[in-house]
Structure 1
Amino acid sequence: MAEKRLREGYTTGSSASAAAGAALRLLLKQQTVTALEIALPPFLRENGATDAPKERLIIPVYAVHLEEGGAVGSVIKDGGDDPDATNGLHIEAHVSLFPDNAEIILEGGKGVGKVTLPGLPVPAGNPAINPEPQEQIKAAVREACAEANYTGGVRVRIEVPRGEERSKNTMNARLGILGGISILGTRGTVKPFSHSSWKATILQGMDVSLAAGVDYIGFSTGRRSERLLMETLPEWKELAFVQAADFVQFSLESAADKGFKRAAWSCFFGKLVKLAQGHAYTHAKTAPVDFLLLAQWCREAGIADSLLPEIEGANTARQVLDIIKDDPNRETALRHVATIARDIAQAWAKNSVEITVYLFDFDGTLLTVV
């Protein structure tokens, strides 16, 4: 059977742009639209100039209506087949006119986060609407104004009902973005299961740490390993912890490139073994555990020969922990594997970052530190 093709979605930035364009068409032309074609990023070049968009996308519009002093457009954020904390949220644009000025004023309202820390694309004190979505929203506003031959000013306030609640499922609080979600999107569409968005989040977390004067970074493979590392290193600032997921090599190389002095890597045994095997990306689909190699490492550490066939035939790394749980050399074996993993991590960090590996058991016990 052919593999199902994953469906792309659209970003919060595209949602806000379509909502703004739809609201303005109602306000300026008394036109109610159920779908709107918008321009997609990129708009901005490295020198700060604005490019004309090259791609466009049709976005469904959920609702438009007039309100006192203006109009409101609403779009339901659809991330396609990409799991996203913002999926299904109503992204609203409240628009109003001030004819004596040709300026476009963009504001963040209820449910849109506010930036409170340096190191992000948006300066502290501003709504968390990233630069590309800002340009995308303004482009949608200009198109609607041009259609109606309107040359005055427009105020756009983006609001997200339930945005503050849903932001608790994002990394926003860790990044110093409080009170709601971020309006994001460097390309306007959401590519299913794209690695690029997660990598961008990792880099953003590092930038926030550096901007706060922190020269150490605590990587983890997920929420549990992050929580355990935070409990183990209570003296470290919360913003120094970044969930790197399966992007081991990318994260460590980036830490070196950005000038961090120290890095911790927190994981469970399966991810540790994959790191020791040299897997740059440790997801189960692309990086299986090599149980023959793991058995060899256990042999080198003095694990009983009678246990080696069981290790070679194991189905999971967790099972191996159970197999060797009563062996007197269990701790030696875990340190041996962790040391191999740390040396690989150290090499990926270009030997410029001091790496410490923290291995946790599934019950939260710290098994070894190297």
Structure 2
Amino acid sequence: MIEDGKDLRRGWTTGACAAAAAKAAVSALVSGEFPDPVAVTLPGGQRPAFALAAQEKGEGFARATVIKDAGDDPDVTHGAAISATVRHREPGSGIAYRAGPGVGTITRPGLPLPPGEPAINPVPRRMIAEAIREATGSEDFEVEISVANGARLAERTLNPRLGILGGISILGTTGIVIPFSCSAWIHSIWRGIDVARAAGLTHVLGATGNASEKAGQALHGLDDIALIDMGDFVGGMLKYLRKHPVEKVTVAGGVAKMTKLAQGMLDVHSKRGLADLEALTALARQGGADEALAGEIAAANTVAHAFALAQAAGFDLGALVAARAWRTAAKALDHPGIALEILVFDRDGALRGRCGFAPAAHSDRP
């Protein structure tokens, strides 16, 4: 992959690392020898080999550790020590998965696994099972996955909000980390929606950042479980909600990101492009701004500056941005059974624009 002229290196998911550690440990439990490196088969057929960082064999158990290499992706688990401890089970009993230190436990419904289960996702479980079968021809083992400092790492993820407590999740649908793909974030958005729906909530709020989230939560009095850490992925949230609806959806964000949404961008990250001040000027003119204010907006340093100029002139630029952002979001949501709302906040959490709830059929509003 190329990013800003640099060749980016791919890495391995926690699921792939856990499968490699489990295969090495079970091999040692059965044969007495740890394979190093140890190769595993990924869902796409690739067979990477992993070096072992640590190995231990004791009475009735074997343990192997792999260090996660996320390549050039800014992954919070890059460099984490992922260990698998395996023990024999009764013949015919199959695999039992356990959450060791640093791996979370699911406490809320709506996730791919029920409450009480260790947060080792379905695809990593299949990878682990296949790796163990490849090494032993059997599945009759207890597999405990642990992650050094996993509880601390989990504080930098969405796990606490999703009700995954005590550590990180073992994730990955391909085994491969693609740099800057943000797939983990997108999947966390989806899981947040699943958890909210399973809890019976009828209103969720997706926010681009902390200030808009807190302000939107206070405005509506929402529980934490209703808050979706949408970040820049407005489209990713709305398209999932189209197929997994709730009655009411609020999209909240700062003035710059909501201006980008108003201009048709469903990924509002700064790397995808800046808000267009010329387009914002044209919108202000359409809304009745005089030429003096239009000129000031066109010459503004930033969107926030443009909003300040409009506010000083007594012109409600936020309402225009919110209405146009609603149209973009409604087109992506495209579900008349869902009432959509847009909230625009400044960096201090003050409401600067609002387009109230209406069915998300994008032709409903001018």
| TM-based fold match above 0.5 | yes
When the two chains are superposed, the root-mean-square deviation of aligned CA atoms in Å is 2.2
Q: CA deviation at 1:102?
A: 6.3
Q: Distance in 1 between matches of 2:139 and 2:225?
A: 43
1:200-251 CA distances to partner (integer Å, 9 max, x unpaired)?
22222111111111122111113332233223222x2221111222222332
Q: CA deviation at 1:41?
A: 2.1
Counterpart for residue 362 of structure 2: none
Residue 320 (structure 2) pairs with residue 336 (structure 1)? yes
Paired residue type of 1:169: R
Counterpart for residue 49 of structure 1: none
> TM-score if structure 1 supplies the norm length?
0.88
Q: Distance in 2 between matches of 1:186 and 1:158?
A: 17
Paired residue type of 2:121: N
Q: CA deviation at 1:73?
A: 0.5
Counterpart for residue 55 of structure 1: 46
Q: CA deviation at 1:308?
A: 2.5
Q: CA deviation at 1:297?
A: 1.9
Aligned-residue identity in percent:
36
Q: CA deviation at 1:98?
A: 4.3
8 Å CA contact retained: 2:207, 2:213: yes
Distance change (3 Å), C-alpha of 1:223 and 1:82: farther
Paired residue type of 1:297: L
Counterpart for residue 358 of structure 2: none
Where 1:124 maps in the other structure, the secondary structure is: coil
Q: 2:174 aligns with which of 184, 187, 199?
A: 187
Q: Distance in 2 between matches of 1:237 and 1:99?
A: 45
1:268-310 CA distances to partner (integer Å, 9 max, x unpaired)?
0111111111122222222331211111222334444223233
Q: Distance in 1 between matches of 2:210 and 2:66?
A: 31
8 Å CA contact retained: 2:97, 2:118: no
Q: Distance in 1 between matches of 2:140 and 2:242?
A: 46
Distance change (3 Å), C-alpha of 1:218 and 1:152: closer
1:60-99 CA distances to partner (integer Å, 9 max, x unpaired)?
2211112343121111122212222222221111112247
Structure 2 unpaired stretches of 5+? 356-366
Q: 1:366 aligns with which of 322, 345, 351?
A: 351
Structure 1 unpaired stretches of 5+? 43-53
Q: CA deviation at 1:316?
A: 2.3
Paired residue type of 1:162: N
8 Å CA contact retained: 2:307, 2:317: no
Q: CA deviation at 1:11?
A: 0.8
Paired residue type of 2:191: Q
Q: 1:245 aligns with which of 231, 240, 246?
A: 231
Residue 77 (structure 2) pairs with residue 86 (structure 1)? yes
Paired residue type of 1:95: V
Residue 292 (structure 2) pairs with residue 306 (structure 1)? yes
Where 1:354 maps in the other structure, the secondary structure is: strand
Distance change (3 Å), C-alpha of 1:182 and 1:70: same
Counterpart for residue 363 of structure 2: none
Counterpart for residue 309 of structure 2: 323
> TM-score if structure 2 supplies the norm length?
0.89
Q: Report the more deviating stretch, 255-264 or 95-104.
A: 95-104
- Any residues of structure 2 matched to 1:1-370 within 5 Å, and which? 3-41=5-43, 54-98=45-89, 100=91, 103-146=94-137, 153-234=140-221, 236-329=222-315, 332-350=316-334, 351-370=336-355
Distance change (3 Å), C-alpha of 1:68 and 1:224: farther
8 Å CA contact retained: 2:233, 2:268: yes
